[in-house]
Amino acid sequence: MKKRKLILAVETSCDETSVAIVEDEAIVLSNIVASQVKSHQRFGGIVPEVASRHHVEQISILFDEAMQEANVTPQDLSQVAVTYGPGLVGALLIGVSAAKAFAWAHNLPLIPVNHMAGHIYAARIVQPLKFPLIALLVSGGHTELVYMKADGEYEIIGETRDDAAGEAYDKVGRVLGLKYPSGKEIDEMAHVGKDTFNFPRAMLNENNFDFSFSGLKSSFINTVHNAEQKGIALEPKNLACSFQNAVVDVLVTKTLRAIKEYNVETLVVAGGVAANQGLREELAKTLNEQMPEVALVIPPLRLCGDNAGMIGAAAFASIKHNEFAGMDLNAVPSLAFERMDEN
Ligand code: KG4
Ligand code: ZN
């Protein structure tokens, strides 16, 4: 009997422990995510040591749960895939060690997956991808534009020079007294506010695809502190709306410019900030007005955050490029795609 193409995928790069079973490129049979967000909330950010401890506690349970839900046994599987970077080293090591042990015990090939490739391939779970494509990756740790000529080929054409978009959301959220992570709440506030502050749009008119969000963040923080010192109360929803408009404006403008220059078939938006309603709406509207022939693929919210289903989907592209690892696979916390202009 022909063996099924069935990958068990593992993701532990940050604060979600996740194990999934993915069949035939993108059919997700199970995708179990154990979030630790509540444990980190009281610290206002992720505490790496706490993250590692949670992963250790959860990982074996999730292996069992994922196989049970997908109704498969280790004998049915064809490969094991795991995120080996980028991320927190201690967190990554838990997933890498667990995946290696499982692959060794069941004599299965091991596929190392870049977490950011996973975010892009979350889109394939939704629909087949047409290449070439541009992916706008926006998360708590990354903001980058990736050009993909074909399946499994990644080149960075632009990235943030300082803060990631999600990081900027979380930092200004802290100033507004919101819970970590605050992207979602700021997004909701922005929808009922007005853009009254006109915050700066850094690098908007520069002839490159890079971003910078630290100036915007400082401008926001200074505005709030100055008002506090003068005893003036600012409207939080207007601050949120003005901040979000500045972020979305830069992301949409640069992404559209990249799509035009690279003449692509598809735009994928991925990562935690891809959940942003303002960004989704503006991209859909602008793309429809300016380049309606380009397919816009934004994964549903449950696939925008970290999950192992997307790692399994990306692993199928790695197989095409014969990218396998041995038992010496290590975590690479600063793993990154190559930058095109550095080739
Ligand atoms: O990709 P992700 O789950 O984790 C990594 O960073 O890898 O992204 C988390 C980030 C956080 O910074 C969070 O504030 C942000 O995504 N985020 C949002 C929204 N939902 C989550 N940012 C803006 N708008 C949202 N709706
Ligand atoms: Zn992520």
Residues 169 and 275 in one domain: yes
Residue closest by Cα to atom 1 of ligand 1: 272
> Within this chain, do residues 291 and 311 fall inside the same structural domain, yes or no?
no
216, 280: one domain = yes
- Which residue of 273, 283, 298, 306 sits with most ligand 1 atoms within 8 Å of its CB, as the best mutation to test the pocket? 273
What pLDDT sits at residue 342?
57
Is any atom of ligand 1 closer than 6 Å to the C-beta of 14?
yes
Q: Which domain holds residue 79?
A: 6-121+304-320
CA of 138 to the centre of ligand 2 (A): 9
Give 132-179 as a 3 state SS string: CEEEEEECCCCEEEEEECCCCCCEEEEEECCCCHHHHHHHHHHHCCCC
Give the Å distance between the CA of 64 and the centre of ligand 1. Answer: 28
Could you report the per-residue pLDDT of 294-332, keeping only the tens digit for each? 999 999 988 998 999 999 999 999 999 999 999 999 999
Tell me, yes or no, whether 329 lies in a domain.
no
Are residues 135 and 114 both part of a single domain?
Answer: no
**Does residue 111 share a domain with residue 244?**
no
- pLDDT of 186 over the 70 cut: yes
Per-residue pLDDT tens digits for 71-99: 999 999 999 999 999 999 999 999 999 99
Global pTM exceeds 0.85: yes
For residues 72 and 139, state if they share a domain: no
- Tell whether 242 is covered by a domain: yes
What is the phi/psi pair of residue 153, to 5°? -115, 120
Same domain, 179 and 80: no
Q: How far is the CA of 191 from the centre of ligand 1 (A)?
A: 17
Q: Considering the domain boundaries, does residue 108 fall inside one?
A: yes
Which residue's CA is minimally distant from atom 8 of ligand 1?
Answer: 272
Q: Clarify whether residues 77 and 168 are in a common domain.
A: no
Report yes or no on 331 lying in a domain. Answer: no
Cα 241 to chain centroid distance, Å, stands at 23
- The torsion angles phi and psi of 284, rounded to 5 degrees, stand at -60, -45
Are 113 and 143 members of one domain? no
> Ligand 2: distance of its center to the CA of 115 in Å?
7
Look at residue 341 and tell me whether its pLDDT is greater than 90: no
Looking at all shown ligands, the one closest to residue 275's CA atom is: 1
For residue 337, being part of any structural domain is answered with no
Q: How many domains does the chain have?
A: 2
149, part of any domain: yes
Residue 343: the pLDDT is 46
Same domain, residue pair 96 and 142 = no
SS3 content of the chain, % helix, strand, coil (to 5): 45, 20, 35
Q: Same domain for 189 and 271?
A: yes
Mind listing the pLDDT tens digit for each residue in 203-222?
Answer: 998 999 999 999 999 999 99
- The minimum-distance atom of ligand 1 relative to the CA of 275 is 26
Average pLDDT of span 105-113:
98
Q: Does 341 fall in a domain?
A: no
Which of these ranges, 5-19, 47-61, 98-112, has the smallest mean pLDDT? 47-61
Q: What is the pLDDT of residues 110-143, one digit of tens each?
A: 999 999 999 999 999 999 999 999 999 999 989 9
In a domain, 168, yes or no: yes
CATH number, domain of 103, equals 3.30.420.40
Query: Kind and range of the H or E element at 37?
Result: helix 37-41
